[in-house]
Amino acid sequence: MSFKTYLFLSFAAIFLLGGCLVIDDAYNGLPPGKWRGVVQLEPSYITPNPKGKRLPEKLNLEFEDVTVGELPFQFTVSYPTPDSFVIALHKAGGEIILSDYTIGRDFSTAKDTLTIRFPGTTNYIRGVFEEKILEGHWFYTHPSGEQKSIPVIARQGQDYLFTTLRKTPEADVNGDWNLLVNVDSEQPEPAILSLKAKENELQGTLEWQGRRYEALSGTIQARKLYLSFFDGRDALLLEAKVMENGELYGALASGGSGKMLWQANKNQRNQ
C-alpha cells in the first residue's frame, strides 16, 4: 500500500467515524431548546346570529395579526443529565418546572408518545412526538366537573408568542381597566384587567369570577391587543381592539367554553 493510499484511507475512516458520532448523538425525549405550543381553541367568530347579538366579526374586530383560535404558550426543554429532561413552562416573570412525564410508544404509528402532568392538578398533555414536533391534546377538568380535551401542537425553535410583527402601538393601554364580560347577555360579569406595556410587549393580570389570573403575556400591535395564560390548570385567551372612544372591545376564551364578548373602560367602576 502506498503512503498516499494509506493517508486517503485514514482520512476516510476519520470522516466516517465523525459522521457516526453525530448520528448517534440522539435524545431519548424532546430535543432541547425553545419551544412554542398552541392550544387550538375552536374559533367562534363566524357563527349564526339569529338574535342579532353583537358578535366580534360584526364589530370589525377581526384579529388578522394572529391565527384565530390559537392560545400560544412557550416552554424550554433542557437535559440536566443525558438520560432525563425537564420542561420549563414560561410565565410572565417566572416559570413552572414540569418533570413528571412518561415516555412510551404508539405501535400503530411507530412514533414515540409523551404524557406531561401538571403539578397540583389531574390535568395533562398527551401526544406523539417526532423530531421537532409534539402533537396531541390537553386533558383538563371543566368547571362543570366533566373531563374534556383540546388539541395541542408544539414546535421547537419558534422564539415568539403571538406574532413576529412589530407594529408601533397607537394607544396607551397601561393601567387598570374595568371590564364587563358577556356584554351581549342579560347579566354581564364584572372583571378588572391590569395592563403593563413596554413597546410591543404586553403583560396583564385578570380578576374575574373570584379568581386572580396573574402573569398573562402577550403583545400590542397598533390598536390590537393579544394576551394568553396557560399553566396546565387554566387556559385563557384575550383579544381586543382599542376603539376610537378609548374603550377596549374584545373577546375572551376560557378553556373550551367558547368566546365571550367583553368591553372595558378606565373612567367608571362596574356596578
Using an 8 Å Cβ cutoff, are 181 and 193 in contact? Answer: no
Domain limits for position 185 = 175-265
* pLDDT of res. 267: 65
- Are 191 and 250 members of one domain? yes
**pLDDT cut 70: percent of the chain above it:** 79
The CATH number given to whatever domain includes residue 196 is 2.40.128.120
Pick from 128, 134, 124: nearest CA to 158: 134
- C-alpha grid cell for residue 112? 414515540
Which of 104, 125, 156 finishes a domain? 156
Q: Domain for residue 229, yes or no? A: yes
Residue 175, SS3 per DSSP: strand
The lowest-confidence range among 29-33, 54-58, 134-138, 162-166 is 54-58
* pLDDT of res. 2: 53
Query: Is residue 268 scored above 90 in pLDDT?
Result: no
Q: Domain for residue 11, yes or no? A: no
User: pLDDT grade, residue 18 (50/70/90)?
Assistant: very low
Query: Is residue 132 scored above 60 in pLDDT?
Result: yes
Q: Domain for residue 253, yes or no? A: yes
58: Cα within 13 Å, side-chain hemisphere: 12
Query: Rounded CA gap, 160 and 222, in Å?
Result: 18
Query: Rounded CA gap, 3 and 265, in Å?
Result: 84
- Are 74 and 139 members of one domain? yes
Q: What is the pLDDT of residues 146-205, one digit of tens each?
A: 899 999 999 999 999 999 999 999 999 999 999 999 998 889 999 999 999 999 999 999
Query: Is residue 9 scored above 50 in pLDDT?
Result: no
Pick from 42, 255, 44: nearest CA to 139: 255
Which of 100, 124, 156 finishes a domain? 156
- Are 225 and 147 members of one domain? no
User: pLDDT grade, residue 256 (50/70/90)?
Assistant: low
- Are 55 and 144 members of one domain? yes
- C-alpha grid cell for residue 128? 406523539
Q: Domain for residue 78, yes or no? A: yes
- Are 150 and 181 members of one domain? no
In whole numbers, what is the pLDDT of the chain averaged over residues?
A: 84
Looking at per-residue confidence, does 194 or 110 come out higher?
Answer: 194
* pLDDT of res. 100: 97
DSSP classification of residue 8: H
Q: Domain for residue 4, yes or no? A: no
151: Cα within 13 Å, side-chain hemisphere: 8
Q: Domain for residue 247, yes or no? A: yes
* pLDDT of res. 184: 86
N- to C-terminal Cα distance for the chain? 95
What mean pLDDT comes out for the span 263-267? 88
Q: Domain for residue 218, yes or no? A: yes
For residue 113, the tally of other CB atoms under 10 A from its CB is 17
What type of residue is 3? F
- Are 206 and 107 members of one domain? no
- The total number of structural domains in the chain stands at 2
* pLDDT of res. 5: 46
* pLDDT of res. 123: 97
* pLDDT of res. 43: 47
- Are 44 and 126 members of one domain? yes
- C-alpha grid cell for residue 196? 403593563
Using an 8 Å Cβ cutoff, are 176 and 196 in contact? Answer: no
CA 219 to chain centre: 13
* pLDDT of res. 42: 64
What mean pLDDT comes out for the span 89-106? 93
- Are 73 and 146 members of one domain? yes
- Are 198 and 142 members of one domain? no
Using an 8 Å Cβ cutoff, are 78 and 64 in contact? Answer: no
Beta-strand pair 189-198/175-181: antiparallel
Q: Residue 221: in which H helix or E strand, if any?
A: strand 211-221
Q: Domain for residue 201, yes or no? A: yes
Query: Rounded CA gap, 82 and 214, in Å?
Result: 34
- Are 210 and 112 members of one domain? no
Query: Is residue 254 scored above 60 in pLDDT?
Result: yes
Looking at per-residue confidence, does 107 or 47 come out higher?
Answer: 107
